[in-house]
Amino acid sequence: MYIAHPPFKPRYILGLESSCDETSVAILADGERVLANLISSQIPLHSRYGGVVPEVACRAHLEVLNPLLAEALERAQIGFHDLEAVAVTCGPGLVGAVLLGVAVAKTLAGTLDIPLIGVNHMEGHLFSALLEDRCLPLPLLCLLVSGGHTLLCLVERWGEYRVLGSTRDDAAGEAFDKVSKALGLGYPGGPKIQELAQKGDPQAVRFSRPMLNEGFDFSFSGLKTAVLLHLQSPQRVSDPDLCASFQEAVVDVLATKALRAARQFGVKSLALAGGVAANKALRQRLAAGAQRLNLPFVCPQLDLCTDNAVMIAKAGWELASRGWVSPLTLDAKPNLELARSPEAGA
């Protein structure tokens, strides 16, 4: 996926993201100034199905990618020929959706004769934390929580990742989405559950904390089932109490494990990223924990937690500046994992 290239710092880098249900195009200047960040959300298209429908997603990406590209250049007030690199999500994600973004990126890189950088979507989430603080001391522990992934990741060198733990079943965001669907709150579930939880009592139901004291892997499907069973019980509490109690259990497991890993591996900083990082209770809990451990803590601003192309442009810029670029034969990799050996680059 990468070839050797002299490290370089593109003045203008284009980022493309189309791995799931958001089409996004961004332009970043000097690796830090966001000149354009356009996101076309497909939530209205998918919400009536209670989840993302791959065929619907692909068609929608195809319709909006080119118009978004034109609009991003206009917003940034630059032309195609000012672009010095193009970064694109090449996985993981829905195969057809990722393929579309990769095809557009390859076409641009080939015609403009500029480097192409394939970015792992989860690595994009991780690098979005660097938009908050560029000089995070390593080793860094990052909790990456999205609709498809729950990863505890140790970064000893940028571009190389050690996954300490991941989910054995549902991802954290997926659990939010499924509980939301069961409560008839709609998709995506995280923001809806958070909103109701604010009016509820987190101690109303003491849900079990799956695998709390076992290693660094996660499991959320049992917790989700416990919530679904509770819905049928005669002692059913109000929806706000239920949401608050469920959210409390998820946050407790995520934060406890992340903070334990931070202590065990003696990291020098802590980051939180991915769609679920928009959750206020989780942000507060990790921020407080990091403070107790005397660790700098970062998480992206709210609108850069969920999928966006700024994070892909940022990751592309950081990779290019370390000498990682991709060949024009780059492929979409729907099951791409977050781990990289130093096969190229510095």
Task: Return residues touching ligand KG4 (CB under 6 A).
Answer: 20, 146-148, 173, 176-177, 188-191, 194, 274-276, 278-279, 306-307
* Residue from 128, 146, 167, 308 in contact with Zn ion (CB under 5 A): 146
Nearer to ligand KG4, 13 or 250 (CB): 250
Q: Which of residues 303-332 bind Zn ion (CB under 5 A)?
A: 307
Residues 20, 41: Cα–Cα separation, whole Å:
10
Helix (H) or strand (E) holding 125: helix 121-128
Smallest distance, Å, CB 255 to ligand KG4? Answer: 13
Smallest distance, Å, CB 195 to ligand KG4? Answer: 8
Smallest distance, Å, CB 193 to Zn ion? Answer: 18
Nearer to ligand KG4, 23 or 146 (CB): 146
Q: Where do we find the tokens 């009592």?
A: 201
Give DSSP secondary structure letters for 151-206.
Answer: EEEEEEETTEEEEEEEBSSS-HHHHHHHHHHHTT--SSHHHHHHHHHTTS-TTSS-
The residue range among 58-66, 89-97, 207-215, 302-310 that interacts with Zn ion, by the rule CB under 5 A, is 302-310
Phi, psi of 173 (to 5 degrees): -65, -35
Phi, psi of 24 (to 5 degrees): -140, 140
Smallest distance, Å, CB 2 to Zn ion? Answer: 21
Cβ-proximal residues to 153 (8 Å cutoff; 6+ apart), any chain: 126, 141, 142, 143, 144, 161, 162, 163, 164, 338
- Binding residue count for Zn ion, defined by CB under 5 A: 2
Q: Which of 55, 92, 68 is nearest to 16 (CA)?
A: 68
Nearer to Zn ion, 24 or 146 (CB): 146
Does the protein bind Zn ion through residue 42 (CB under 5 A)?
A: no
Residues in contact with Zn ion by CB under 5 A are: 146, 307
